[in-house]
Amino acid sequence: MIADISGNLKRILHLKGVSQTDLSNKTELPTSTISDYVNGKTLIPPGNLQKIADSLNVLKSDINSSFKKTQSYKSIPLIDRICAGEGLLAEQNVEGYIHYPFQDSRQPDYALRVKYDSMIGAGIESGDIVFMRYAQWADYNGQIVAALINNDTEGTLKRIKWSEGSPLIKLLSGNSKHKVIEVLPNQVRVFGVYMGHFRPENHQENT
Protein backbone atom coordinates (compact mmCIF):
# COMPACT_ATOMS: atom_id res chain seq x y z
CA MET A 1 0.00 0.00 0.00
CA ILE A 2 2.78 2.45 0.85
CA ALA A 3 4.38 1.83 -2.54
CA ASP A 4 1.07 2.63 -4.29
CA ILE A 5 0.67 5.88 -2.34
CA SER A 6 4.28 6.87 -3.04
CA GLY A 7 3.84 6.10 -6.74
CA ASN A 8 0.63 8.13 -6.95
CA LEU A 9 2.24 11.10 -5.21
CA LYS A 10 5.30 10.99 -7.47
CA ARG A 11 3.09 10.81 -10.56
CA ILE A 12 0.96 13.79 -9.49
CA LEU A 13 4.03 15.89 -8.63
CA HIS A 14 5.54 15.10 -12.03
CA LEU A 15 2.33 15.86 -13.94
CA LYS A 16 1.85 19.17 -12.16
CA GLY A 17 5.52 20.14 -12.26
CA VAL A 18 5.70 20.55 -8.49
CA SER A 19 8.96 19.81 -6.68
CA GLN A 20 9.23 18.39 -3.18
CA THR A 21 10.47 21.79 -1.99
CA ASP A 22 7.45 23.49 -3.58
CA LEU A 23 5.14 21.02 -1.88
CA SER A 24 6.87 21.58 1.44
CA ASN A 25 6.40 25.34 1.11
CA LYS A 26 2.74 25.00 0.12
CA THR A 27 1.83 22.61 2.92
CA GLU A 28 4.22 24.02 5.55
CA LEU A 29 5.41 20.46 6.17
CA PRO A 30 9.18 19.83 6.62
CA THR A 31 11.05 18.84 3.46
CA SER A 32 12.24 15.68 5.25
CA THR A 33 8.62 14.69 5.90
CA ILE A 34 7.67 15.27 2.26
CA SER A 35 10.69 13.20 1.18
CA ASP A 36 9.60 10.32 3.43
CA TYR A 37 6.13 10.38 1.87
CA VAL A 38 7.40 10.58 -1.72
CA ASN A 39 9.91 7.78 -1.18
CA GLY A 40 7.42 5.54 0.61
CA LYS A 41 9.18 5.49 3.95
CA THR A 42 6.09 6.34 6.01
CA LEU A 43 2.33 6.39 5.58
CA ILE A 44 0.77 9.83 5.22
CA PRO A 45 -1.52 10.62 8.16
CA PRO A 46 -5.04 11.77 7.13
CA GLY A 47 -4.43 15.38 8.21
CA ASN A 48 -1.24 15.74 6.21
CA LEU A 49 -2.80 13.89 3.28
CA GLN A 50 -5.57 16.50 3.17
CA LYS A 51 -3.01 19.33 3.19
CA ILE A 52 -1.09 17.73 0.33
CA ALA A 53 -4.25 17.00 -1.69
CA ASP A 54 -5.51 20.58 -1.22
CA SER A 55 -2.18 22.09 -2.26
CA LEU A 56 -2.10 19.94 -5.40
CA ASN A 57 -5.80 20.47 -6.15
CA VAL A 58 -6.57 16.73 -6.14
CA LEU A 59 -8.67 14.40 -4.00
CA LYS A 60 -7.20 12.44 -1.12
CA SER A 61 -8.27 9.29 -2.93
CA ASP A 62 -6.11 10.31 -5.92
CA ILE A 63 -3.10 9.81 -3.66
CA ASN A 64 -4.40 7.10 -1.34
CA SER A 65 -7.13 5.02 -2.98
CA SER A 66 -8.18 3.74 0.45
CA PHE A 67 -9.96 7.07 0.95
CA LYS A 68 -12.60 6.36 -1.67
CA LYS A 69 -16.10 7.06 -0.36
CA THR A 70 -17.01 3.38 -0.40
CA GLN A 71 -14.23 2.62 2.08
CA SER A 72 -15.23 2.57 5.74
CA TYR A 73 -13.05 3.47 8.66
CA LYS A 74 -12.24 0.70 11.11
CA SER A 75 -10.95 1.07 14.63
CA ILE A 76 -7.42 -0.21 15.09
CA PRO A 77 -6.39 -0.61 18.74
CA LEU A 78 -3.24 1.31 19.64
CA ILE A 79 -1.20 -0.42 22.33
CA ASP A 80 1.71 1.07 24.21
CA ARG A 81 3.54 -2.16 25.00
CA ILE A 82 3.73 -5.91 24.50
CA CYS A 83 4.05 -7.62 27.85
CA ALA A 84 4.47 -11.15 29.13
CA GLY A 85 1.55 -12.61 31.01
CA GLU A 86 -1.06 -10.25 29.58
CA GLY A 87 -3.37 -10.53 26.60
CA LEU A 88 -2.01 -8.54 23.69
CA LEU A 89 -5.10 -6.37 23.54
CA ALA A 90 -5.82 -6.39 27.27
CA GLU A 91 -7.73 -3.27 28.29
CA GLN A 92 -4.84 -1.93 30.32
CA ASN A 93 -2.56 -2.05 27.26
CA VAL A 94 -4.85 -0.18 24.85
CA GLU A 95 -4.26 3.56 24.96
CA GLY A 96 -6.70 4.45 22.19
CA TYR A 97 -7.88 3.66 18.67
CA ILE A 98 -6.73 4.75 15.24
CA HIS A 99 -9.26 5.24 12.45
CA TYR A 100 -7.64 4.72 9.07
CA PRO A 101 -9.36 3.43 5.89
CA PHE A 102 -7.29 0.38 5.11
CA GLN A 103 -8.49 -1.99 2.44
CA ASP A 104 -9.99 -5.09 4.06
CA SER A 105 -7.18 -7.31 2.79
CA ARG A 106 -4.61 -5.01 4.41
CA GLN A 107 -6.39 -4.33 7.69
CA PRO A 108 -3.90 -4.39 10.60
CA ASP A 109 -4.84 -6.13 13.80
CA TYR A 110 -3.26 -3.52 16.03
CA ALA A 111 -0.92 -0.56 16.13
CA LEU A 112 2.07 -0.11 18.39
CA ARG A 113 3.68 3.12 19.55
CA VAL A 114 7.47 2.95 19.16
CA LYS A 115 9.39 3.96 22.28
CA TYR A 116 13.03 3.56 21.36
CA ASP A 117 15.52 4.12 18.54
CA SER A 118 16.32 0.48 17.77
CA MET A 119 14.80 0.57 14.25
CA ILE A 120 15.87 3.98 12.94
CA GLY A 121 17.80 2.27 10.16
CA ALA A 122 14.45 1.07 8.80
CA GLY A 123 13.07 4.61 8.98
CA ILE A 124 11.13 3.88 12.18
CA GLU A 125 11.74 6.49 14.88
CA SER A 126 10.78 6.75 18.51
CA GLY A 127 7.22 8.10 18.69
CA ASP A 128 6.16 6.60 15.35
CA ILE A 129 3.08 4.39 15.08
CA VAL A 130 3.62 0.99 13.45
CA PHE A 131 0.81 -1.15 12.08
CA MET A 132 1.02 -4.86 12.85
CA ARG A 133 -0.73 -8.02 11.71
CA TYR A 134 -0.99 -10.64 14.41
CA ALA A 135 1.22 -13.65 13.69
CA GLN A 136 3.16 -16.14 15.75
CA TRP A 137 6.10 -16.23 13.34
CA ALA A 138 7.56 -14.26 10.46
CA ASP A 139 6.27 -14.72 6.92
CA TYR A 140 9.81 -14.60 5.53
CA ASN A 141 13.44 -14.43 6.61
CA GLY A 142 14.43 -10.87 7.53
CA GLN A 143 10.94 -9.57 8.30
CA ILE A 144 10.38 -6.97 11.03
CA VAL A 145 8.38 -8.43 13.91
CA ALA A 146 7.19 -7.52 17.38
CA ALA A 147 8.80 -10.02 19.71
CA LEU A 148 9.31 -10.89 23.33
CA ILE A 149 12.84 -12.18 23.89
CA ASN A 150 13.93 -14.58 26.64
CA ASN A 151 12.68 -13.36 29.99
CA ASP A 152 12.21 -9.72 28.98
CA THR A 153 9.08 -8.18 30.44
CA GLU A 154 8.38 -5.95 27.44
CA GLY A 155 8.43 -6.68 23.72
CA THR A 156 10.37 -4.88 21.02
CA LEU A 157 10.61 -4.48 17.25
CA LYS A 158 13.37 -6.50 15.63
CA ARG A 159 14.29 -7.90 12.23
CA ILE A 160 14.25 -11.69 12.57
CA LYS A 161 16.66 -13.90 10.64
CA TRP A 162 17.70 -17.54 10.59
CA SER A 163 20.22 -19.64 8.69
CA GLU A 164 20.05 -23.19 7.42
CA GLY A 165 22.20 -25.45 9.56
CA SER A 166 22.14 -23.15 12.59
CA PRO A 167 19.77 -23.68 15.53
CA LEU A 168 19.95 -20.00 16.50
CA ILE A 169 17.57 -17.20 15.63
CA LYS A 170 19.09 -13.74 15.09
CA LEU A 171 17.20 -10.62 16.13
CA LEU A 172 18.65 -7.49 14.62
CA SER A 173 18.06 -3.82 15.30
CA GLY A 174 18.15 -1.13 12.68
CA ASN A 175 20.65 0.76 14.78
CA SER A 176 24.35 -0.10 14.98
CA LYS A 177 24.41 0.92 18.64
CA HIS A 178 22.41 -2.20 19.51
CA LYS A 179 24.01 -5.63 19.40
CA VAL A 180 22.64 -8.61 17.53
CA ILE A 181 20.70 -10.98 19.79
CA GLU A 182 20.99 -14.72 19.19
CA VAL A 183 18.50 -17.09 20.81
CA LEU A 184 16.97 -20.52 20.36
CA PRO A 185 13.50 -20.62 18.77
CA ASN A 186 11.87 -21.41 22.10
CA GLN A 187 13.42 -18.25 23.60
CA VAL A 188 11.51 -15.82 21.39
CA ARG A 189 7.78 -15.23 21.03
CA VAL A 190 6.49 -13.34 18.00
CA PHE A 191 3.33 -11.27 18.43
CA GLY A 192 2.98 -9.70 15.01
CA VAL A 193 4.59 -8.75 11.71
CA TYR A 194 5.21 -5.22 10.48
CA MET A 195 2.85 -3.78 7.84
CA GLY A 196 3.82 -0.12 7.74
CA HIS A 197 4.14 2.96 9.92
CA PHE A 198 3.48 6.66 10.08
CA ARG A 199 4.71 9.66 12.05
CA PRO A 200 1.96 11.43 14.01
CA GLU A 201 1.46 15.11 13.23
CA ASN A 202 2.21 15.96 16.87
CA HIS A 203 5.26 13.66 16.79
CA GLN A 204 7.56 13.86 19.80
CA GLU A 205 10.44 11.47 20.34
CA ASN A 206 10.22 9.31 23.43
CA THR A 207 13.39 8.97 25.45
Spell out the domains of the chain, with CATH numbers in brackets. Answer: 2-67 (1.10.260.40), 74-198 (2.10.109.10)
Distance from C-alpha of 170 to C-alpha of 156, rounded to nearest angstrom: 14
Q: How confident is the model at residue 75 (pLDDT cuts 50, 70, 90)?
A: confident
Q: Does the pTM exceed 0.75?
A: no
Query: In whole angstroms, what separates CA 161 from the centre of its chain?
Result: 19
Q: What is the dihedral of CA 98, 102, 105, 107, to 10 degrees?
A: -10
Among this protein's residues, is 166 annotated catalytic? no
- Check the CA dihedral 65-5-45-193 and report its sign: positive
The per-residue pLDDT for 69 is: 59
Q: With DSSP H G I counted as helix, E B as strand and the rest as coil, what are the percentages for the chain, rounded to 5?
A: 30, 25, 45
Q: Is the pLDDT of residue 162 over 60?
A: yes
Q: What are phi and psi of 158, to 5 degrees?
A: -145, 160
Is residue 66 part of the annotated active site? The answer reads: no
Of these residues, 6, 55, 118, 173, which one is catalytic? Answer: 118
| Catalytic residue (one of 68, 158, 161, 173) | 158
Burial of 182 (0-12, 13-18, 19+ CB in 10 A): middle
Range in 8-17, 26-35, 99-108, 114-123 the model is least confident about: 99-108
- Of 121, 138, 123, 8, the C-alpha closest to 64 is 8
